[in-house]
Chain A
Amino acid sequence: MNKRAAMLSGRAGWASFGYALIAAVIVFAIAIANPLPADDGAAESQGADSQGADSQGADSQGADSQVARSGAAPDLCAMQVRDFARPETHRCGDGEETVAAVALNATGEMRPSQATAGTLLFRSGSGRDGIPAPLLDTDVVIRVSGMVARAQVRQTFRNPYNDWHEGIYVFPLPENAAVDRLKMRIGERVVEGAIRERVQAKKEYEQARQNGQRAALLEQERPNIFTSSVANTGPREDIVIEIEYQQALRYDSGRFSLRFPMVVAPRYIPGNALPSPSHAIDVARAELIHGEEGASPDPTVGRGWARNTNQVPDASRITPPVQRPEDGALNPVSIRVELDAGMPVARVVSSYHAINQRKVDERSQVIELRSGVTPANRDFALHWEPVKGTAPRTAWFTEKRGDATYGLLMVMPPAAEKRVKRIPREVIFVIDTSGSMSGTSIEQARLALQLAIERIDRKDRFNVIEFNSNARKLFPDALPADSDNREVARRWVGNLQAQGGTEMARALDLALDGQTHPDRVRQVVFLTDAAVGNEEPLLAMLSERLGDSRLFTVGIGSAPNGYFMTKAAQVGRGTFTYIGNVEEVQEKMGELFGKLESPVLKNLRIDWPRDAVVETWPARIPDLYVGEPIVVTAALSPGAAGERARGDARVSGLRGDEQWESKVSVQRDTGSEGVAALWARDKIDALMDAKLDGADGEQTRELVTAVALEHRLVTKYTSLVAVDRTPARPKSEGMRSSTIPTNLPAGWNYDAVFGSAIAGELPQGATDSRFNLLLGGVLLLAGLMLLAAQRSAGRMSAARVRAQVRVGPVLASRGRLVSTSSRWTLSL
């Protein structure tokens, strides 16, 4: 009895020795898997005692994953998120996971690789380079009323660290957003933002930043790219900024659409790097920025991954760091749309996100994301259709501001009644095959193009151009669309691969000839995600070389550049459409073809009641394709506002050789808030367009600034800035400054963008082979020692046991899970 007890305790001793050994091995493995970057010593020691809250994803099964708010439970797992290795190098079967729990208890760390498929982790913005950034949550509320939307975007900058932080976030908004409000919330207090000239706003922000005052700055980089900066977020403090904008909605083919972009896709930056001693990267490297050092007031200096070039002089401002998708998702967004369509709604469709709808009445609904939050990695697109027969043919909204009255007029022309004489067409398809298209985008583009080629009338002519770092034509000249040529083209398109840069200018050069073609209609269909930083030079080139061709843009992928899509279509006198997944290709291309094949409505003009109007934008109404309404904003003369009651506006145009005319009453005053902002936004848009066509830059700046200051709009030349009066940060304490990393757009291929686009990064040249060999050796050694220990324990017990052990190790091989359920029989 005694002997047996002694034996048992002996065995127990061996066993605990074994467990301790395993734990030690795993801790060691984790330690070598996570080496401290040698050049980052200061940051790391700083990070080690700061309690960076790793965000937690709710563990959920299946595809319909539940998502937890970043940092919702920061204390569950307080750690500094460092360099995350690729998951596959760590997945080591069930064995490691259970044992890793020991390591978790011992060291307080949790491996992100334990996340199983279907789990969505939002984590702290610490990038590969180990610079901790504040976390960012976004909550969006969009109130739709008829044709207009008012949106509030709440960005919460969360500082989970024990020191002071400045966060800089580069994010997108709709390209036609009239951003007119910024509020900063610190706890209960609210600081209202003021509109300033950009340089002045930056100065005020900078001053506050150095004084230790909390401050927020909102700048515009492109009509659809904005930067928010929030300074002096205290230890473990949240600062909320609320951005508001007004937007006219798209109404096309009987459908209203609302698009909310969530991520600025990595942009291709052409051109040669500008020499700049104070470049962003150096600024970013000087991590700990003390009060007396300041950022440059130069509006072209940013901290992105790209350097400024001669073609994109502000490249460093529009290229925020991008997190590798396998390192988890960032920046959760919640969206709530309060829809008042103004007429009975037949159906509401969200193209890319699952939604919950709550009907208020037949024309009103509340729409929210089914998952609660979603990572900011693709556009949110919502469409709704009026019940048949209730679709509006005309609309008129007004807002009084001071003396002036502003109006928004919409007129939907009727569909063409008879077919007009057919004119021969020449269609040039241009497909973007750059690295950014790699992944799902190129599949959508190929499919769309093949469908389009099928659809061309055999009496028409066509050609295909692909472009990445270079551009090439399929045929030297456009050829008739007979079945042979179409087959050649279909096969050629099917083999296209996406890699390399986005030298779009070369494609435009091949596609446009600057000529007029009296004998035919020349249409250029441009399939791209327009992930480029040089929109302005491209648009200027387009305007110059267009001739009488028409350009139709097809925005591909999860985060197309809406500014380029709409503006290129406008300059190119065509129209635009979006394709965000393969299922949409058929329908969207069908609609586009409807437009290509139907005659346009041109020579459009509006005759306002006498003396009623001062300014209408756009000044020249563009040609309309089938399904498109006329939408203009107008400022009415103050004197005439009273007498205007007598007037009808007369809208007329020419379709083929058929005259069309319609009268709209513009008597009512509807008191619709936000129309003035839309008018100002349209005016600014027109002024910026004039600059593309060669208007003086300085003069444009002055004109735009005047309108923007009057209407409190954020533009390229004006910013909103909010400063809290009392200093918060003591002079003795420094502040860290960092750019918040963004997600890679859904469906994109990281390596195709940063591994092969010229402007991305130098090629990566290393494997994990050393690590694999070392870890493998250590594990083998540990296993053998354990077996040896087992054996000697077995000898002590003097019993030979035939153990049948059933193991189902899950071996991760090259990222794919291979499950082997073999039986291991061991004779010990």
Chain B
Amino acid sequence: MDAFALKRRALTVAAVVLLVCGAWQTGQGAYIHVKAQLAQVLIQRAWHRTLAGEREVRPWPWADTWPVARLVMAEPDVDVFVLAGANGRTLAFGPGHRFGTPLPGEGGNSVVGGHRDTHLAFLRDVHTGAVARVQRQDGAWTSYRVEGTRILDKRDTWVMANDGASRLTLVTCYPFDALRAGGPLRYVVLASAL
């Protein structure tokens, strides 16, 4: 094979590799969003069964989480289901309730985390005074009024402290437009029960 053919071949290989990698990366990025949306549909079904009295209803058979609350806001328009556990695996499918804090609507400081680019992207449009409504597993609704927002370091765990007051604390990553995950800052919305 002469040098010319080799070069052509190398170019083709390079082009194919670039295309494959590009498609893979694009797919990966899109997959995150598709998964996030699709999961909420399945979780909605699980939530209806939860309201009907079942407990720890897994949205799909191999799930290791289940819906524990529904979060609704009018402005911005939000309707999401909160899952048990705020670890990375859970957060791919919905905002997650931080294990060890009281469940939303149960009194005390409930902590819910979520992704800034999927389910909790709306937090950047949440302003002081906005009202969030939370439905518990028994169907009862609790309303929270947003008291303020804070940008904190991930080590500032004091916002998760439970002082007995009935509060809802929503946590997501900051800045909202950062390209990569894993930064040290968090955007926290603090709300108190009405």
Task: Name the contact of A765 in the complex, choosing from B15, B152, B172 (C-beta under 8 A).
Answer: B172
A765 touches B186 (CB 8 A): yes
- Taking CB atoms, residues of chain B closer than 8 Å to A756 are 85-87, 98-100
B179 touches A95 (CB 8 A): no
- Taking CB atoms, residues of chain B closer than 8 Å to A33 are 180
Task: Select from chain A the residue with minimum beta-carbon distance to B153.
Answer: A281
| Binary B-proximity of A2-37 (CB < 8 A = 1, otherwise 0) | 000000100110110011001001000000110101
Question: Taking the complex as formed, is A777 at the interface, i.e. its CB lies under 8 A from any CB of chain B?
Answer: yes
Task: Name the contact of B19 in the complex, choosing from A14, A757, A758, A780 (C-beta under 8 A).
Answer: A780
Question: Taking the complex as formed, is A471 at the interface, i.e. its CB lies under 8 A from any CB of chain B?
Answer: no
Question: With the chains together, A768 CA to B152 CA distance in Å?
Answer: 21
A780 touches B22 (CB 8 A): yes
Question: Taking the complex as formed, is B156 at the interface, i.e. its CB lies under 8 A from any CB of chain A?
Answer: yes
Question: Taking the complex as formed, is A701 at the interface, i.e. its CB lies under 8 A from any CB of chain B?
Answer: no
B180 touches A18 (CB 8 A): no
- Taking CB atoms, residues of chain A closer than 8 Å to B182 are 83, 85-86, 128, 764, 766
- Taking CB atoms, residues of chain B closer than 8 Å to A85 are 180, 182
Interface residues in B93-113 (C-beta closer than 8 Å to A): 96, 98-101, 111, 113
* A–B Cβ pairs within 8 angstroms, 14 of them: A15-B11, A96-B17, A500-B100, A756-B86, A763-B87, A763-B91, A763-B114, A764-B182, A765-B172, A765-B173, A766-B181, A772-B32, A787-B19, A790-B8
- Taking CB atoms, residues of chain B closer than 8 Å to A755 are 86-88
B154 touches A762 (CB 8 A): yes
Known: A35-B180, A772-B29, A780-B22. A767 touches B118 (CB 8 A): yes
Question: With the chains together, A464 CA to B20 CA distance in Å?
Answer: 53
A775 touches B25 (CB 8 A): yes
From residue B81, how far is it (CB to closest CB) to chain A in Å?
Answer: 16
| Binary B-proximity of A122-166 (CB < 8 A = 1, otherwise 0) | 000000110000000000000000000000000000000000000
From residue B122, how far is it (CB to closest CB) to chain A in Å?
Answer: 12
B18 touches A782 (CB 8 A): yes
From residue A619, how far is it (CB to closest CB) to chain B in Å?
Answer: 42
| Binary A-proximity of B24-54 (CB < 8 A = 1, otherwise 0) | 1111111011000000000000000000000
Question: Taking the complex as formed, is A1 at the interface, i.e. its CB lies under 8 A from any CB of chain B?
Answer: no
Known: A128-B184, A500-B100. A307 touches B158 (CB 8 A): yes
| Interface stretch (choices A196-204, A231-239, A253-261, A805-813) | A805-813
A794 touches B8 (CB 8 A): yes
- Taking CB atoms, residues of chain A closer than 8 Å to B5 are 801
Interface residues in A758-808 (C-beta closer than 8 Å to B): 758-784, 786-787, 789-790, 793-794, 797, 801, 803, 805, 807
From residue B92, how far is it (CB to closest CB) to chain A in Å?
Answer: 7
Question: With the chains together, A393 CA to B7 CA distance in Å?
Answer: 80
Question: Taking the complex as formed, is B194 at the interface, i.e. its CB lies under 8 A from any CB of chain A?
Answer: no
Known: A765-B173, A779-B22, A790-B8. A305 touches B155 (CB 8 A): yes
Task: Select from chain A the residue with minimum beta-carbon distance to B28.
Answer: A772
A11 touches B7 (CB 8 A): yes
Question: With the chains together, A805 CA to B16 CA distance in Å?
Answer: 9
B172 touches A769 (CB 8 A): no
Sample of 15 more A-B contacts, CB < 8 Å, known A95-B21, A762-B157, A786-B18: A14-B11, A22-B14, A93-B21, A273-B157, A305-B155, A765-B114, A766-B173, A766-B180, A768-B28, A771-B179, A773-B26, A783-B19, A793-B11, A797-B4, A807-B17
Task: Select from chain A the residue with minimum beta-carbon distance to B172.
Answer: A765
From residue B164, how far is it (CB to closest CB) to chain A in Å?
Answer: 12
From residue A155, how far is it (CB to closest CB) to chain B in Å?
Answer: 26
- Taking CB atoms, residues of chain B closer than 8 Å to A801 are 5, 8
Task: Name the contact of B27 in the complex, choosing from A32, A757, A768, A776 (C-beta under 8 A).
Answer: A776
A780 touches B181 (CB 8 A): no
From residue A308, how far is it (CB to closest CB) to chain B in Å?
Answer: 12
| Inter-chain contact total with CB atoms closer than 8 Å | 254
A763 touches B111 (CB 8 A): yes
Question: Taking the complex as formed, is A586 at the interface, i.e. its CB lies under 8 A from any CB of chain B?
Answer: no
A766 touches B183 (CB 8 A): yes
B184 touches A758 (CB 8 A): no
Known: A499-B85, A761-B154. A780 touches B26 (CB 8 A): yes
B8 touches A307 (CB 8 A): no
B8 touches A99 (CB 8 A): no
- Taking CB atoms, residues of chain B closer than 8 Å to A499 are 85, 87, 99
Interface residues in B152-185 (C-beta closer than 8 Å to A): 152-161, 171-173, 175, 177-185
Interface residues in A15-66 (C-beta closer than 8 Å to B): 15, 18-19, 22, 25, 32-33, 35, 37-39
B98 touches A763 (CB 8 A): yes
Known: A8-B4, A782-B18. A776 touches B113 (CB 8 A): no
Question: With the chains together, A809 CA to B13 CA distance in Å?
Answer: 10
Question: Taking the complex as formed, is A460 at the interface, i.e. its CB lies under 8 A from any CB of chain B?
Answer: no
- Taking CB atoms, residues of chain A closer than 8 Å to B116 are 765-766
From residue B37, how far is it (CB to closest CB) to chain A in Å?
Answer: 12
Known: A500-B100, A764-B88. A92 touches B13 (CB 8 A): no
Question: Taking the complex as formed, is A190 at the interface, i.e. its CB lies under 8 A from any CB of chain B?
Answer: no
From residue A822, how far is it (CB to closest CB) to chain B in Å?
Answer: 11
Task: Name the contact of A783 in the complex, choosing from B18, B98, B100 (C-beta under 8 A).
Answer: B18
Closest 9 interchain pairs by CB? Answer: A763-B113, A776-B26, A95-B17, A776-B25, A779-B22, A772-B29, A783-B18, A780-B22, A469-B100
Question: Taking the complex as formed, is A272 at the interface, i.e. its CB lies under 8 A from any CB of chain B?
Answer: yes
B8 touches A803 (CB 8 A): yes
- Taking CB atoms, residues of chain B closer than 8 Å to A807 are 13, 16-17, 20
Question: Taking the complex as formed, is A751 at the interface, i.e. its CB lies under 8 A from any CB of chain B?
Answer: yes
Known: A22-B18, A273-B161, A783-B19. A762 touches B156 (CB 8 A): yes
Question: Taking the complex as formed, is B78 at the interface, i.e. its CB lies under 8 A from any CB of chain A?
Answer: no
